[in-house]
Structure 1
Amino acid sequence: MNILIVGGGGREHAMAWKVAQSTLVDKLYAAPGSDGIASVAECAPIDVMDFQGLADFAEGHDVDLTLVGPEQPLVGGIVDYFSARGLKIFGPSKAAARIEGSKSFAKALMKNNQIPTSHYQTFTDYQQAGDYLQQVGAPIVLKADGLAAGKGVIVAMTMAEAEQGLKAIMKDRKFADAGARVVIEEYLEGDEFSLMALVNGETVTPLAIAQDHKRSFDGDKGPNTGGMGAYSPVPQIPGKIADEAVQTILKPAASGMAQEGCPFTGVLYAGLMLTKDGPKVIEFNCRFGDPETQVVLPRLESDLVQVVLDVMDGGQPALSWSDKTAVGVVLATAGYPVSYPKGRKLGDLSALPDAALLFHAGTKKNGKDWLTSGGRVLLVTRLGDDLRTTRDAVNKDLERIATDDVFFRKDIGHRALEAAEKP
């Protein structure tokens, strides 16, 4: 088969790395890809929102299956466009991708299908939203309704933070049109985890869980980011909790979407909180998580391409997983997620040992040198026998290539380690 992966970030690099291992693949393409992805796929400089260009490429290169990484083309309707041209593509339709593209749509879906989540209200009027804030108080969570590259969520622990956050979203339009509508929801306490599943209609095939770290700095300090690292498995979340989440969250969501006339096909991502009342939904996404994909796929021993084909054919494949721990840590440009320079030279990436899996996110090659070209620069993943030693190995890997222009968290997985130390 010839496979096309749409996207060019760290998630897509991990997808390409995994797909390249499939015995079913003859030729692997990525659009636009990246200098890093070029090590495993032939890259074509086509923007992810250029549906005609992508479809023309797929037709011209006899692509048998297209996999989509980012949410923007999915929400924009790439699956509908490809399908109308008779091209096989794995992902949700534009109508189904609203589960990520509109927080208010997702909340209504959960309400209608008794899916456990936080209490919420949706507003398009700034004054009414402000009045509601005064009524409910802090801590509180504010979400821009539309797509905001994983950064449209403000967790306000004080009223001052809440008021400032509401102004940033609705008045200052920090997230552009994504902030025309805001969802204000109850602050949930507990342990977060990410549960992704391959879905086709009402058939749900769950993947291994992971835990992402959103805050910039050690100790979960600093602003929210697109993710600074992840690990899998998550030992403090029992297997029975993940099973419960499949039954009470993922399956009802898939069933509810089918009943609403927009059945979901693709990767359904649930960001969950294990509260004292059980798992509850923080958010849904319509694609693989980033950086969770970079630690989940290295643990998957099954052929990803065969698994996707089986799911698309209506099957529910049994997946095989490594029992090793995967830890992935992001190297980010100093100043991320606010403002940051580009074009800064990294250390020698060839100095990384073979055991370190390197997934490029925002890099560019200049001769023999690798330069920064984004906020999240790259991610290093390792597989190991236990969380602490695996994380320490990744941290040492990153220290080899870090410069004064970049930073990384050294405490990825701290919740699991802290839970293990409790009597």
Structure 2
Amino acid sequence: MPVKVLFLTLKTFSLTGGIEKVCRSISRVLYDLSEEEIVQSTVYSMYDKNTDRDSRYLSKQQFKGFGGKKEQFVVQSFLSGLKADVILLSHIHLINIVYFIKKVYPHKKIYLMAHGIEIWKKLSDSKLKILNQLDKIICVSHFTAQKIMDMHHIPAEKIEILNNCLDPFYHLSTQFEKPKDLLNRYRLNDENIILFSLSRLSSSEKYKGYDHTIELLPKLLEKYPTLTYLLGGKWDAIEKKRLDELIIKNNLQDYIRMIGFIDETEITEHFLLSDIFILPSKKEGFGIVFIEALASGLRVIAGNKDGSVDALQGGTLGVLVDPDDQEGILISICNLLEHKQNESDKKNLQEKCMEAFGYAPYLQSVKSLLLNGMINHTEKMDQTQYSGLVNPKIYG
């Protein structure tokens, strides 16, 4: 008999953030396992509409979007949850739904996916109580796992670590030339050295490190006068004003392009355009953007104090820097720029990324979780590279 799986999400298809990308990959796993008749899966989204569904990830019969009708979502999730063998929650905000289900059926398997800042915050006593009753908390990185254990006192045996995977439909380039149309769009040429950051530019999330990169540009331009910094991502008005003032203060108007939101269809091309992707964040749950860059053959600089460590496999796939060490970041950028990549280097980086974060091993890990209640433990690297982080095993 197939295992009946109910996957509850807030949004899966109507946004393109990190959590939504994880939800889409999980949805595709459920689709594939359903095709093999291993599971019988249903996905509910609180805020998506039925028309938001992307048919590459789920069939029409497997998905229901409630379009923001919260009461209907909660009632239907509760009723369907009573019939499911496994309930998988995509977000901490959904755990109240399963409280009474766990009361009625204490042995029903209920798993929560833990990404980053959404679960690092202080939780109410009621949520903490439910959190401790869950069977497993699936953390996307060692950093997130450690934060949960430290803040919420969750025992290690309740935690599994499952690194995010690259979207199964992410566009992998076989050629690595810089796209001419983007060079023209941003008034650049082949002589320009291009640093690239892509992040939500939010006044409430000043930990991504792009402002520190801006502050480094005057020194970088002394050595690399053709350098340009592309800063992508949707901004809010307060943060845009702060960054504009920082750019003017450092007289960098000619060297920075704030390019705003980038459509998913053009993300790979922006990575191909660039010479280094840099985002020395302090509070990254994992950082799917890093593995997207690596899958495009682009070298990455990330912070060494958060989930970025997992995304760069402890530094084997990219450069990890102290986000507070400006001189160290400057040196790391210069070291990379002194060694230009060729096509073979980019292809090799892409292959290593796919080996570590491809969809196939991710599917097998989720399958093991749903069928056996745990993930097959396959060591990927020397765990001493995760100094200071929780030390359960790392998977696919």
Normalising by structure 2, we get a TM-score of 0.35
Normalising by structure 1, we get a TM-score of 0.33
Higher helix share: 2
Higher radius of gyration, 1 or 2: 2
Higher strand share: 1
